[in-house]
Amino acid sequence: MIVVGYTDDVPIHTFRFKDNFVLSEARAHAVVKILDKWIDNPGRLEYIGAGDSHPIAFPASRASNRRIEVTYIPEG
């Protein structure tokens, strides 16, 4: 399973997150930590931060770009 975190295009710079890529990676990692408790084979979980690299909405609805996508990849 691959978990990808995304952000909108508004720049962020805080003590915890230096940029949108760090924030998106933290989002994906948070989901993996939750899934880790429910998955039989947690070693199959991967996470990636993609920042604002793949927007699905334009500025009027930029909240849609702050998302997590989970892709299941069957074994074998």
What global pTM score does this model have?
A: 0.88
CB 62 within 8 A of CB 52: no
The verdict on residue 45 lying in a domain is yes
* Distance from chain centroid for Cα 23: 8
Domain enclosing residue 16, as ranges: 2-51
Q: What is the predicted pLDDT for the residue at 28?
A: 98
The answer to whether position 37 is within a domain reads yes
Q: Decide if 41 is inside a domain.
A: yes
Using one digit for the tens of pLDDT, what is the confidence trace for 25-75? 999 999 999 999 888 876 789 999 999 999 998 877 889 999 999 999 887
Is residue 16 in a domain? yes
The answer as to whether 65 is a domain residue is no
**Cα distance between residue 4 and residue 28, in whole Å:** 6
Which pLDDT band, with edges at 50, 70 and 90, does 13 fall under? confident
Q: Quick check: is 26 in a domain? A: yes
Which residues, in sequence order, are bridge partners of residue 43? none
In whole angstroms, give the CA distance from residue 10 to residue 18.
13
Instruction: Evaluate whether residue 72 is within a structural domain.
Output: no
Please give the tally of structural domains in the chain: 1
